[in-house]
């Protein structure tokens, strides 16, 4: 049980539900493999099953949720080494590319924002706050990528993060928050300041590479 009010902000209900489910998936609140139902989700969020259907359709299309063709029951895709390998490969290609494209457009405002977000990442790590870490880390990367002016690639990257979310949670569950202290954010920001596209590309590639290595170890350890 969670919210009760429809949160009549200004967004459509199904978008709010989408965001709520997205967070639930990324932060691992929905355990991989277990089945959930539209009506239960709807009741939990205090809305009718209708907008939940819409949000779920979207998440299924983005592969953040999987739907059993026989049961038609839906669940979070299970975490396999194979899936992780493919997602890693895709991220390692697309995200450094986005960073490189963003470098020429990096201005003072962006760097300021990135410094703030990086500080939030460090804070979350120091406190061991998993959710805060994942949010801040996500925001750091996408504040950067958004400057690449490459909408198609940006959307692809977004989809990949959504799919990799549950894996990140596993890292924390198995090796703890300490495992992730060293990021390459500072390195990336240095390169951005100098409008060094290749430097930014390398920094982000290294950042991702290290993170994905930890995930791989965590997944293998769990098998």
Nearer to DNA, 12 or 221 (CB): 12
Q: Which range touches DNA (CB under 7 A), out of 66-74, 107-115, 156-164, 196-204?
A: 66-74
User: Is residue 54 close enough to count as binding DNA by CB under 7 A?
Assistant: yes
For the bound state, the minimum distance from the C-beta of residue 37 to DNA, rounded and expressed in Å, comes to 3
* Beta carbons within 10 angstroms of residue 45's beta carbon: 24
* Beta carbons of 56 and 70 less than 8 angstroms apart: no
Nearer to a second copy, 124 or 205 (CB): 205
User: Is residue 48 close enough to count as binding DNA by CB under 7 A?
Assistant: yes
Paired strand residues for 66 = 75
User: Is residue 13 close enough to count as binding DNA by CB under 7 A?
Assistant: yes
* Beta carbons of 42 and 52 less than 8 angstroms apart: yes
* Beta carbons of 79 and 219 less than 8 angstroms apart: yes
Phi, psi of 33 (to 5 degrees): 100, -30
User: Is residue 10 close enough to count as binding DNA by CB under 7 A?
Assistant: no
Binding site residues, DNA, CB under 7 A = 6, 12-14, 36-40, 47-51, 53-54, 70-74
């Amino acid at each position: 049980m969670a919210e009760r009010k429809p949160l009549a902000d200004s967004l459509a209900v199904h978008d709010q539900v989408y965001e709520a489910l997205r967070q639930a998936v990324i932060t691992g609140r929905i355990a991989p493999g277990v089945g959930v139902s539209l009506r239960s989700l709807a009741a939990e969020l205090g809305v009718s099953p209708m907008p939940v259907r819409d949000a779920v359709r979207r998440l299924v299309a983005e592969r953040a949720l999987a739907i059993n063709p026989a049961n038609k029951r839906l669940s979070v895709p299970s975490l396999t080494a194979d899936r992780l390998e493919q997602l890693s490969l895709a991220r390692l290609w697309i995200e450094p590319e986005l960073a490189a494209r963003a470098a020429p457009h990096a201005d003072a405002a962006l760097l300021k924002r990135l410094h703030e977000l990086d500080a939030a990442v460090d804070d979350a790590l120091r406190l061991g706050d998993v959710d805060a870490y994942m949010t801040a880390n996500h925001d750091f990367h996408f504040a950067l990528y958004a400057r690449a002016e490459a909408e198609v690639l940006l959307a692809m990257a977004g989809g990949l993060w959504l799919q990799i979310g549950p894996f990140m949670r596993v890292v924390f569950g198995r090796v703890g928050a300490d495992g992730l202290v060293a990021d390459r954010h500072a390195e990336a920001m240095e390169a951005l300041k100098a409008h060094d596209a290749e430097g930014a590309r390398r920094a982000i590639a290294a950042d991702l590479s290290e993170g994905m290595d930890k995930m791989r170890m965590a997944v293998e350890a769990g098998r």
